[in-house]
Structure 1
C-alpha cells in the first residue's frame, strides 16, 4: 500500500505499483481489498454507473485504509475531474485522450485547482504568471493529485511525443480494447500491430519519465510480459471478473465430479 504522494513518485521513477478495478460499492469490500497487498484501486465511472455520493464514500473509505483511489471519469472534461477530486479521489484517469489541448485542459483541472476560467487559461498558455505565493499555494493544494491519461487510439499514439512533454503528467494508461479497435484489429491482443503499439507507448512514456500502465482482465501473462519491458502501473482484472472466473471454475469442478454437465464459462467481462 502507498499514499498518493508515494504513488506519484513511484510512477515517475519506474517503480511498479499494483491495483485492480473495483466495481462494487459494498461497505464490506474495502477492508477485504486492503488485505491483498495492492497499492491503489481503480474505480471506473466511464463504463460503470456510480452515483456521485456513492463514489465519494468509496474514495474516502479506501483512502482511510491506505489504498490510493484513482477514478476514471466518463469523458475528457475538466469540470468532472475537479468534481471527483473534491469527492475524495487521489487521482484522475482521463479516457480517450488524443490531443495536447485536451491534456493541457485536464492538467489545469488536476494540478491547478481551484483556479478556473480565463485566469487558468492564461496560466496554462504562459501569458500570465501567478506569482511566488500562488505557486506555493497551488503546489501544496495539489501535491497529492495524480494525473493519468488513457492512450487508446492511433491518433493518440501519433500525438504521444507532444503529450508526454506536457508538465505534470504522471502516467499514461493503455486501454487494450479501444486501442485494438482503433488499429482495426479488434480484440486481437497478439496481433503484431497491437503489440507494436503497446511497446511504443511504454517505451516512449518511460523515456520521458512518465509512468506506463495497462488494464488487462484475462490471465496474467501479458502483465508480466509488459512489466519486463518497462510497464510499471499494473491494473489486473476486476472484482467482478475475479468473482465470475473463480466461481465458474468451482462449479465446473463440482459438476464434473458429480457427473453433471458443466456449462462453458462465458468470456471475461471487458471494461
Structure 2
C-alpha cells in the first residue's frame, strides 16, 4: 500500500473527449477519474486521457466496470495511477480486487513492460513490478448498507489504499430511510478514522463540511454535469432580462 498523501480534489470524466481532462487541469483539480463504468469511453481514448492527465500534472485514475483481467490490465498498463473498483461489499471482494490489481506474490496481474506503465519497455521488470505493487493505488467503492458495516474489514485488506463511499448507489441499494442511511455513513466514517483508513466520497456543495469530517479526498462532480450546469447558467442569465 502506498503511504503518499492522496490527491484531494477530483472529478469524474464521462465524456469521450480528452479535452475534458485538459480543462479540468486548468480549473485546478488534483486528479481525474476516467469513468469506464458509466461513461462511453473506449480503450484508445482512455490511454490518451491518462497520458494527457500526466502531462497536465493531474493524477489519472480509472473507474473500471469490473475485475476481469481485461477490465484492469489495460488501464494499468496504459499508466493509470490507480483504479476505482465499484461494488466492493465485503473483505472477500476487496481481496479479489487486490488480486487482479497487484503483481505476484500479492496478486495475479500479468506483467509486461511494453506499455506506458513500463516506460515502453525501458523499465526493468523488477522496477515495474515494485511500482505496480507499491505505487499504484487501489480505491474500493462501498455502495451498500452491508458494505458500510464492513468498512473497517474492507479498508484493512492488504493492498487496498482507500475506501470510497458512493452516496448515489447507497441511496438506491440501501433500502433505508434517509436518516437511517446517514447514521450508517456516520458510523462508517468513525470506523475509518479509528482504523486510519483513507476515505473519499462525492461532494455536492458540501466539500468543506466533508473535509472537516475527516474525508481525505473528494470527487466534486463530472465533466458532463459541469457542462450542463454552466450551459444552463448562461441560458438563464441571458433570458433573465424582461422576465
Deviations 1:51-76 (A, max 9, x none): 11111111111112211111111124
**What are structure 1's unaligned runs of at least 5 residues?**
118-133, 260-271
Matched, 1:100 2:108: no
Corresponding residue for 1:220? 205
Preserved contact between residue 13 and residue 20 of structure 2 (Cα < 8 Å): no
Q: Trace 1:89-238 onto structure 2 (pairs within 5 A).
A: 89-112=80-103, 116=108, 138-185=129-176, 191-216=178-203, 219-221=204-206, 223-238=207-222
Preserved contact between residue 73 and residue 80 of structure 1 (Cα < 8 Å): yes
**What are structure 2's unaligned runs of at least 5 residues?**
110-124
State which structure, 1 or 2, has the greater radius of gyration over its C-alpha atoms. Answer: 1
Preserved contact between residue 102 and residue 108 of structure 2 (Cα < 8 Å): no
Corresponding residue for 1:248? 232
What displacement does 1:109 show?
Answer: 2.3
Preserved contact between residue 144 and residue 170 of structure 2 (Cα < 8 Å): yes
TM-score normalised to the size of structure 2?
A: 0.82
Preserved contact between residue 34 and residue 60 of structure 2 (Cα < 8 Å): yes
How far apart are the structure 1 equivalents of 2:79 and 2:202? 22
What displacement does 1:215 show?
Answer: 1.7
How far apart are the structure 1 equivalents of 2:82 and 2:190? 23
How far apart are the structure 1 equivalents of 2:76 and 2:127? 19
Preserved contact between residue 155 and residue 161 of structure 2 (Cα < 8 Å): no
TM-score normalised to the size of structure 1?
A: 0.75
The number of residues matched between the two structures is 226
Quickly say closer, same or farther: Cα 1:193–1:135, change in 2 above 3 A. Answer: farther
Corresponding residue for 1:122? none
What displacement does 1:242 show?
Answer: 1.2
**What secondary structure sits across from 1:155 in the alignment?**
helix
